[in-house]
Amino acid sequence: MQALAFEQFGGPDVLEYLELPTPALPAGAVQVRMGAAGLNFADIYRRKGNYVLHGNPPHIGGYEGVGTIIALGEGVQGWQLGERIGFADVPFCHATRINVPVEHALRLPQALSDVEAASILLQGLTAQYLINDSVQVKAGDRALVHAAAGGVGQILTRMLVARGAQVYAVVSSAHKQQIALNNGAMAAFTYQQDWVTQIAALTDGGVEYGFDSVGITLQQSIDALRPGGRVVTFGMAGGEAPAISAYQLMMDSKGVVGGDLWTYLNSAEARSTRAERLFRSWQNGEFAIPHIETFPLREGAAAHRRLEDRSFAGKIVLLNDSDPRS
């Protein structure tokens, strides 16, 4: 098989397109010919060495994708050769062959193409748990959304608006402000502005909820809350979050909730139920497929550079161009 891999941490230049042994297919899994795989900031963090990696190099990134079943492991039932399959939490998927445990396998609507499905699985499921599990947002609530023009941010904004919440977005540029407004945000600010003060003025004292994927902005997100509000911290795109004052949280009855998707993708039933809910949400128009740019897997270094480009807004999907029909 071919894989996008790295043997040392660093910038995009450490990535190589390698020919590696195809992994043996274990019982209870299906082997998939990858068609489309999502690229996420978590893949960049792993490449840089910010996340713990298990196993020995070369390391292969990726967790979400879509492909076709080409082999069935012992004991597999309910799936057939040639069937299309999706997955959101299967490691090492930036390769032309992936072994997918059947409890991680997802059935996809015919209306979604491979590329479209690969563009919404991780980020859509993330936005979904943020507003349903980490906190429970209802109509009329006000919410702060960081990186609102990013992959999670765009879907999250649209889901919140569809629920009847008011979204106050923070982004990195004037161009991305317009993207956030087009997605239904009440107002959008850049990080160069005094967005905490402006949000307080527009909301008569702050928002009920903040969704912070940046990390270093955590204290400001807390400051943007009204008394009794909650911030969900679910990423560190800008760096590690600062220490916060428990006294301040206590005095204003505010709270900080950690969020990680893997907590909720904890069984075959949970994965299937959440994916079906996500697809219904898309079919009902509660969010849209993001702007997508595709790269051949062999050009993965260029794809990483593009995702790290602060001007980019949307989703990057890697394509298997080595054996698309074999």
Instruction: Give the domain extent around 92.
Output: 2-120+266-319
Is the same domain home to 52 and 146?
Answer: no
Determine, yes or no, domain membership for 198. yes
Check residue 326 and give its pLDDT. Answer: 42
According to DSSP, the β-strands at 187-190 and 255-258 are: unpaired
More confident residue, 121 or 309: 121
Determine, yes or no, domain membership for 241. yes
Q: 265, 267, 295: which is closest to 278 by C-alpha?
A: 265
Is the same domain home to 239 and 200?
Answer: yes
Q: What distance in Å separates the CA atoms of residue 305 and residue 38, rounded to the nearest whole number?
A: 15
The number of distinct structural domains making up the chain is: 2
Percent of the chain with pLDDT over 70: 99
- What pLDDT, in 10s, does the model give residues 149-192? 999 999 999 999 999 999 999 999 999 999 999 999 999 999 99
Is the same domain home to 270 and 253?
Answer: no
CATH of the domain at 9: 3.90.180.10
According to DSSP, the β-strands at 59-60 and 2-6 are: antiparallel
Question: Pick from 228, 259, 290: which residue ends a domain?
Answer: 259
Is the same domain home to 151 and 252?
Answer: yes
Is the same domain home to 163 and 252?
Answer: yes
Would you say residue 34 has pLDDT above 50?
yes
Encode 199-224: b = buried (16+ Cβ within 10 Å), e = exposed. Answer: bbebbeebbbbbbbbbbebbbbbbbb
Mean pLDDT, residues 15-32 taken together: 97
**Cβ proximity of 298 and 318 under 8 Å:** no
Question: Pick from 259, 279, 299: which residue ends a domain?
Answer: 259
Instruction: Share the mean pLDDT of the chain.
Output: 95
Question: Pick from 239, 259, 279: which residue ends a domain?
Answer: 259
- What pLDDT, in 10s, does the model give residues 37-81? 999 988 998 999 887 777 789 999 999 999 999 999 999 999 999
The secondary element (H helix, E strand) that includes residue 9 is none
Determine, yes or no, domain membership for 133. no
Residues in a beta bridge with 319: 36, 296
Determine, yes or no, domain membership for 125. no
Is the same domain home to 253 and 278?
Answer: no
CATH of the domain at 191: 3.40.50.720
Residues in a beta bridge with 97: 33
